[in-house]
Structure 1
Amino acid sequence: MKVFKVVCICTIYVLMIMGTRPTVSLFAHELGASINHIGLITSLFSIIPLLFAIPLGKKIDHLNSKITLLLGGYLGVLGIVLPGFFPNFLGLYLSQLIAGSAQTVLILSAQDYIGRISTKKNRNQYVSWFSFGVAVGTLAGPLFSGIIADLFSFQITFLILAGIGFISCIIIHLVPNEYPIKSKKSPIPTSKTKSTFVDLLKIPSLRLALLFSALILFAKDIYLTFFPLLGLQFGYSNSTIGLLLAINGIASVIIRFYLAPITNRFGTFNVFIGSMIISCVAYIALPFFPQIVIACIIAFILGIGLGIGQPLSISLTIDNAINGRVAEALGIRLTVNRLTQVITPAIFGILANLIGLIYIFLVSSTVIALGTGIAGHNKNNRKTDVMEDSRVKSI
């Protein structure tokens, strides 16, 4: 079945990518980088996607799926293998730039592929399977890389992860090609000029999906970038840090099995709000409990919060995109995500040097709470507008 092949590809590919995210921070620390330098290095992962995700998504809408999947796959392997052959800052810089760009190409292509082979009826199910595969790769990657780094070295870890990523490239060759969907007329009135991504941003529910996606990625990137450094302060080994990141990923996988009944009962928006509240509480507790058992519990709770939002934001983006422009809408989502991932480690790395690593997690909790409040306010305003419109029509 097509969808399971894509899920398998993304699981292996994400394992490779996510295995390197904490490894980059720890390897840079071993090379003598300061916290703000580490923040700048990790921000390079998202700098090129930030600039080109929207035009890239627009291009993917008009290309055969297999071309872009193969491009993202092989380019990602190239990026990850570089620090293995060049174990220095230059190798890390180039690796982050190439791997970040490649991941954007592959994930955008995979999400668009899901959009092409799915219908309105089974789309949430397909996206749920896709997100499940990503979550499995997310939990397995850090655990695997932590064990390999303890057994061998960071240099060997990059080489082994690149070898694993190469397997996903082989599977891509077995995936049937899907041709572009013909674009239909936009339901939103446009001028005679060429359509732009601004047309998509006029959709209120799409804007809300983008805001939630940014909040989730912000919380996730803080954890992946700075928790390994906090773990070193607590005296954890690389394997222990990898284990805690894996527990976080396990929670994200488990919660996906209950996502459909939860959203059916409480509604998508309320579930989003709940997931953000859970994340806020976890971030407040995280720096004050270095005991390994309590740290595992906090990592699991945080994984539940972060695991809920990501698949829902993808589904909302696909559902609210104009038909034939799904990849472009997903490109906008990725641009917002990458902007978050560029700003977050760079600014918070500098902030960590000023106020200390522990307080970074408290500031992060405040940012998540403010963003959630803004989303709730906008949602309430939309409800009020709809009620007023219905009253006017009834007069």
Structure 2
Amino acid sequence: MARWRLALSVQAVLSQAGWVGIRVIIGYRALSEGADAVFLGLLASCFALPALLAALPSGRLADRFGGSIMAFVGLVTAAAGTVTMLAFPGLPVLLAASALIGLGNLLVIVGQQAFVAHVSSTDSPDSAFGTLAAAASTGQLIGPPAVTLLASLGVPAGGRPDTTIGLFVCLSFSALATPAFFFLRRTDSGMRRGRTDAAGDPLTAGEVLKAPGLWRSLVVSGAVLVTVDLMYAFVPVWATEQSVSAAAVGMLLGLRAAVSVLSRLGLTRLICRFGRKAMLIVSISAAVLSLALLPLVGAWGAIVVMVGLGLGLGIPQPLTMAWVVSLTAASSHGAALGLRLTVNRLAQITLPIAVGSFAAPAGVLGIFWANAALLVGAIAVVAGADAAPATTRKSDAD
């Protein structure tokens, strides 16, 4: 494995472990302070609100200064939000700290994705983004079990976890992720000098959007990412209704992440054989079926559901990133990925609030079925795409 792949993988594993750990534990912290389903939807939106404005500018900054620097700044920003949440109790503080953590996570994601896009400009983007996505899923595998198990130590059966301990665990993950910056900086600096010599004037957001078929990749990406967010926000509600412990929730979410990791092994070979388009349709269909079943099952049935969600949410993410990169010029990869995240964040702001408001009369059944309907729409968008983005070179799979 190239040094940059190893360093990036370590950073992605630890940063994602801290991120998803916070996404799980903050739901319990909000419930302990009297939050309802509507507030949980608002909380999920606050993670995305600042990033809606910062995604495209941060992508341009990543093109200019390097993705490794952006990821480092993001880790520091997310840590500051976690410290704020620990130091000051109350629901309003949860909203403000969530916004700061969401901004930090955005910078980490843009930085890592821009780094991968730049360093893999002469290779298969599916392979490089598959490495990043697999590392991120490994972090999602580690984060929820570690945070919920440690936060549940000494807590009576059926009781809520100690969210202060859980947040400290998340903060530790972020701190351990920062040293990877020093290993990534040298590779990033060399690639950036090469791009600066060859690049012309940067494209505007409107010009980036004119790339044929780009809007389809953005829509599909947003639908999949919102599904991940809604899962982390509302699985605690499902667990409370089903009397499932926090530790069991952590294990279930860890299982989902483990399946996502496994689904990305040899992904480029699968794409070479079946095509990116077919892989997207099949995987998203698995997520639709799983979401439809989740409100109807208990803890044991949720094991099967999480396997389906692991496949349905694990495969599309690297494919949509590679899809975006394949449609844009190398000098604007960071901007294009930032635009992708802007669309993602817009969906994350509007849809959780809508779904959270719908949850009051309909409960978890309405939450997850509405999410399933959203993914059905994404399948229709993929089905209407041209065949070109759905293929990859045979040599890419070797």
Question: What TM-score results when the alignment is normalised by the length of structure 1?
Answer: 0.90
- 2:180 maps to 1:171: yes
Q: Name the residue aligned to 1:129.
A: 131
Deviation at 1:119, TM superposition (A): 3.6
Matches within 5 A, 1:285-364: 285-290=293-298, 292-364=299-371
Matches within 5 A, 1:74-223: 74-151=76-153, 153-177=162-186, 178-179=188-189, 180=192, 181-182=195-196, 184-185=199-200, 195-223=203-231
Matches within 5 A, 1:59-74: 59-74=61-76
CA offsets per residue over residues 190-244 of structure 1, 9 Å max, x none? xxxx841111111123222212211211221221111121111100111011111
Q: Name the residue aligned to 1:389.
A: none
Amino acid across the alignment from 1:223 = M
Deviation at 1:11, TM superposition (A): 0.8
CA offsets per residue over residues 165-203 of structure 1, 9 Å max, x none? 1011123233333233226358xxxxxxx8411111111
CA distance 1:65–1:259, shift in 2 (3 Å):
closer
Q: Name the residue aligned to 1:18.
A: 20
Amino acid across the alignment from 1:163 = S
Distance in structure 1 (CA, Å) of the matches to 2:66 and 2:348: 29
CA contact (8 A) 2:67 2:110 kept: no
CA distance 1:266–1:122, shift in 2 (3 Å):
closer
Secondary structure in 2 aligned to 1:62? helix
Distance in structure 2 (CA, Å) of the matches to 1:67 and 1:202: 29
- 2:381 maps to 1:374: yes
Distance in structure 2 (CA, Å) of the matches to 1:113 and 1:258: 22
CA distance 1:220–1:109, shift in 2 (3 Å):
same
Distance in structure 2 (CA, Å) of the matches to 1:171 and 1:195: 30
Deviation at 1:378, TM superposition (A): 4.7
CA contact (8 A) 1:85 1:155 kept: no
Deviation at 1:94, TM superposition (A): 2.4
CA distance 1:322–1:119, shift in 2 (3 Å):
closer
Matches within 5 A, 1:269-288: 269-288=277-296
- 2:267 maps to 1:265: no
Distance in structure 1 (CA, Å) of the matches to 2:130 and 2:378: 25
CA distance 1:369–1:111, shift in 2 (3 Å):
same
CA contact (8 A) 1:142 1:246 kept: yes
Deviation at 1:63, TM superposition (A): 1.2
User: How big is the alpha-carbon RMSD for the aligned residues of Structure 1 and Structure 2?
Assistant: 2.1
Deviation at 1:144, TM superposition (A): 1.3
Q: Name the residue aligned to 1:391.
A: none
Deviation at 1:281, TM superposition (A): 0.8
Distance in structure 2 (CA, Å) of the matches to 1:375 and 1:262: 17
Unaligned runs of 5+ in 1: 187-193, 384-395
CA contact (8 A) 2:56 2:338 kept: yes
Amino acid across the alignment from 1:319 = S
CA contact (8 A) 1:12 1:164 kept: yes
CA offsets per residue over residues 137-175 of structure 1, 9 Å max, x none? 112111111112211610121122102210111232333
CA contact (8 A) 2:121 2:330 kept: no
Identity across the alignment (%): 23
Deviation at 1:357, TM superposition (A): 2.1
CA contact (8 A) 1:252 1:308 kept: yes
Amino acid across the alignment from 1:176 = R
CA distance 1:344–1:302, shift in 2 (3 Å):
same
